[in-house]
Structure 1
Amino acid sequence: MIEVLAPIKTERLLLRPFTEDDVADAFAFESLPEVARYLYNEPRTREDCAAEVAKRREQTSLRAEGDSAVLAVELDGTVIGYVLLTWLSEQHRQGEFGFVLHPGHQGRGYATEAAAEMLRLGFDGLDLHRIVGRCDARNTGSARVMERLGMRREAHFVESEIFKDEWGDELHYAVLATEWRSAAR
């Protein structure tokens, strides 16, 4: 159990709970069609972003199965994305993580740097056994991030659901705690 997530400082980033002051930064990337393309939501309006930031401000603890923690990814005082960890099963010690990053900041290793901290939080903070990540099969950037993190592709589900009015494929990745800990970090 993790009661309240404290800010996490990486080499270049600060991962921290969202504040009400983050709405404009969130809107700057969550309103973009290329960000929403692989997410279940459409591009967000400013009001949508305000509602999401308010919800994320409450998602700062992992007390029980089903809880999600969401952290803002801050670079030089600006929120450029977010990362999340969901506690899927206490009995089976399973979790799921995810990440979203402003397209203007992609390709520089920020997503990998931030997402690695969510894996570390799951394995070291919650003592999870296994963490999974999922992405649309067309989202090659997210797939590469998970591969760089040492995750293995376990499945490619073909036309597994109707996503934004068309059949979509989904990739599933996973890493075990023993694999995570044995890799050079």
Structure 2
Amino acid sequence: MNARITLSPVTPDDIDFITDLEMSVSLWPFEDMIPTDKEAVRKTVAERIYSDWHKQFVIRLASPEATPVGEVHIHWYVKERESWELGYSLFPEYRGQGYCTEAAQLALKLAFEEWKAHRVVAMCNEYNTSSIKVLERLGLTREGVFREEIYWNNQWVDQYFYAILDREYLGRKGI
């Protein structure tokens, strides 16, 4: 099967793109805290580019134009436990086509096969059914519910906590 997307590590040339993406209310409809200080976000994005603890990639269509369609990131959750946290965002016009799942699969591959993660976690708003589907397609297990963790849409809502272990990932891949 031909790859439909590629991941390219964020570079200094991508700082404005990622900054705008991270500040876009329309791209994070289920989040409770969208940053508003553009210079602070730009500084953070720039600092993370060369870090060991935060890896961020632009999701691009595998086409001559290499159209950017979103981002996927993975960062240390608890370093001492070899635990990483996965997150992603996709432009609305590219949702529902499997691109997010493919990008997250590539991020999991890096985490488990290259960085030797023991565990990868992800969290999402209980109303974010699209993200729930992505996480479950990836083989993550819902391990818990943080009750009323997020103040969203003028109400407290639950946040779901998902995880996958290295042996689960590697067992599925036959590695």
Same fold flag (TM > 0.5): yes
Question: Is contact 1:25-1:78 (8 Å) kept?
Answer: no
Unaligned runs of 5+ in 1: 1-9
Structure 1 residue ranges (4+ consecutive) displaced by more than 2 angstroms after TM superposition:
17-27, 29-34, 39-44, 50-63, 88-91, 160-166
Partner of 1:89: 78
- Which of the pair is proportionally richer in helix? 2
Give the share of equivalent positions with the same residue, in percent.
Answer: 29
Which of residues 106, 116, 126 is equivalent to 2:115? 126
Is residue 100 of structure 1 aligned with residue 89 of structure 2? yes
Sort the Cα spacing of 1:71 and 1:56 in 2 relative to 1 into closer, same or farther, 3 A: farther
Which of residues 126, 129, 136 is equivalent to 1:147? 136
Moved more, 133-142 or 156-165: 156-165
What's the secondary structure of 1:77's corresponding residue? coil
| Partners of 1:146 and 1:84 in 2: CA distance | 14
Is residue 23 of structure 1 aligned with residue 12 of structure 2? no
Sort the Cα spacing of 1:152 and 1:33 in 2 relative to 1 into closer, same or farther, 3 A: same
Question: Is contact 1:26-1:79 (8 Å) kept?
Answer: no
Partner of 2:3: 11
Partner of 2:101: 112
Residue 56 of structure 1: how far off its partner (Å): 2.7
Residue 21 of structure 1: how far off its partner (Å): 5.2
Unaligned runs of 5+ in 2: none
What's the secondary structure of 1:183's corresponding residue? helix
* Corresponding letter in the other structure for 2:5: L
Partner of 2:151: 162
Partner of 1:59: 48
- The normalised TM-score by structure 2 is 0.81
| Partners of 1:51 and 1:14 in 2: CA distance | 28
| Partners of 1:25 and 1:56 in 2: CA distance | 7
How many residues align structurally? 169
Partner of 1:3: none
| Partners of 1:129 and 1:62 in 2: CA distance | 20
What's the secondary structure of 1:91's corresponding residue? helix
